[in-house]
Amino acid sequence: METGDRKPIEELTFREAMGELDGIVRVLESNSLELEDSLVSYERGVALLRALQGRLNEAQQKVEVLMGELEGEVDDATRDATLS
């Protein structure tokens, strides 16, 4: 995929971003690019990695909030059962 054909990172789904990052790693490991193209690919890969890490952190925070809410509901149910 040419640089101009790439979607902005924020428009990629998580799966698309992972796939693109995987492709970049494979191409860089193949040592088939010129230095300039390697640098462009590496920069895109770093940007993808940062975006993916950010999305994972957001998802983890959401899970922690949901787990906290669930624990609160369990504690409320336990307290109500104890009071009955």
Q: How many CB atoms are located within 10 Å of the residue 44 CB? A: 17
Domain count, the chain: 1
Residue 72 domain-assigned (yes or no): no
18 falls within a domain: yes
Output the pLDDT for position 60.
Answer: 96
Q: In CATH, what number is assigned to the domain containing residue 16?
A: 1.10.287
Is residue 55 domain-resident?
A: yes
Domain with 44, as residue range(s), is: 10-67
Give the C-alpha distances (Å, rounded to integers) separating 70 from 14, 48, 59, 60, 76.
26, 33, 16, 15, 10
Q: Is residue 74 domain-resident?
A: no
pLDDT at 71: 83
| Candidate ranges 3-12, 28-37, 72-81; pick with highest mean pLDDT | 28-37
* pTM (2 d.p.): 0.76
- Mean per-residue pLDDT for 21-45? 97
